[in-house]
Amino acid sequence: MALYLIGDVQGCDEALGRLLAQIGHSPSRDHLYLLGDLVNRGPSSAAVLRRLAGLGGAATCLLGNHDLSLLAVAHGTRQPHRSDTMDDVLQAPDRDALLDWLRQQRLAVQAHGLLMVHAGVPPSWDAAQALALAAEVEDVLRGPQLAGFLPRMWGNEPARWDDALAGDDRLRFAVNALTRLRFCAPDGTLHLKASGPADAPPPGTLPWFEVPGRRTAGTPVAFGHWSQLGLLLRPDVIALDTGCVWGGCLSALRWDPATGGREVVQVRCPQAQAPGD
């Protein structure tokens, strides 16, 4: 069995199809881990969801900020952004099935020696805490509380984790950390507005994975979300958002958990939008 991690697809189904063909993907033999932002900004979000849902247990898909935004727009709790391209899902005859499949997906997974999230992990969390808090949010997204939670999911506060956080504040922090995080202060305060390159952090902040003493330092973490960071392959950090929707590449990493071997496969994507998040 081959294991592949794939960065942000963002509605680029044609590129995803070419990437799967290039790696010789076989659903009966291989397993895919998609690192979130399955939809939006690209031209074919509905086709991406249909393709991935059709893979069944051969694909594990994480939720990113754009995927959560789709759920919120679909439930009428968020207005579409002018750059959104989600109408093909919202107007699809199988809309309800696609949205129901989407809300069953994960926010964090640990498998094959990797912790996988869409965006980041706050420095005060270890892998077990990240998975536990992801599961709390997943339960809400899958349950009858979804419509009530979505309008309260948005916002940048609280900006710092506290084990005493409860209710919407607790869930909102977890969503922000797992689907929006790039930079944070050494004390763990999230800085959610910046989206620039890692070597130009906002004053007083660092890329989340550079914070000294972060508790996931001994656990390799794979993530997407950060197109201006691009491909990063360190022993402890794997970043795979290579800006497909912005005219870059869609990237897959073949991961060998036995040897730690890594092989990157990329396809060019023809989209030419202005960079965003």
Better-scored residue on pLDDT, 259 or 4: 4
Alpha-carbon distance of 174 to 257, in angstroms, equals 28
Give the tens place of pLDDT for each residue, 97-133.
Answer: 999 999 999 999 999 999 999 999 999 999 999 999 9
Tokens representing 117 are 């999230």
Place of tokens 């997407």: 224
Nearest 10 degrees: Cα torsion 207, 212, 216, 217: 100
Task: Give the rounded distance of the alpha carbon of 256 from its chain centre.
Answer: 21
**C-alpha Rg value of the chain to the nearest Å:** 17
- Residue 261: pLDDT band by 50, 70, 90 thresholds? confident
- Beta-bridge partner residues of 263: 254
Instruction: Assess contact for 248 and 242: CB atoms under 8 A.
Output: yes
Preceding omega of 257 cis (within 30 degrees of 0): no
Give the tens place of pLDDT for each residue, 176-212.
Answer: 999 999 999 999 999 998 888 999 999 999 999 999 9
**Whole-number Cα distances in Å, 37 to 28, 81, 120, 181:** 25, 15, 14, 14
Alpha-carbon distance of 106 to 118, in angstroms, equals 10
pLDDT, position 269: 87
Domains of the chain plus CATH, in order, are 3-268 (3.60.21.10)
Amino acid at 5: L
Buried b (16+ CB within 10 A) or exposed e, 133-147: bbeebbebbeeeebe
pLDDT, position 271: 63
Alpha-carbon distance of 185 to 182, in angstroms, equals 11
- Residue 167: pLDDT band by 50, 70, 90 thresholds? very high
Alpha-carbon distance of 29 to 181, in angstroms, equals 33
Q: Which of 104, 128, 137, 11 is nearest to 66 (CA)?
A: 11
Q: At 265, phi and psi to the nearest 5?
A: -125, 135
Residue length, the chain? 277
> Does the pTM of the predicted model rise above 0.85?
yes
- Residue 237: pLDDT band by 50, 70, 90 thresholds? very high
pLDDT, position 74: 97
Q: Give the mean pLDDT of the chain.
A: 95
Q: Is pLDDT above 60 for 277?
A: no
Query: DSSP state, 1?
Result: -
Alpha-carbon distance of 24 to 271, in angstroms, equals 24
Q: Is pLDDT above 90 for 231?
A: yes
Give the tens place of pLDDT for each residue, 39-92.
Answer: 999 999 999 999 999 999 999 999 999 999 999 999 999 999 999 999 999 999
Phi-psi region of 138 (alpha: psi -120 to 50; beta: other; left: phi over 0): alpha
pLDDT, position 274: 45
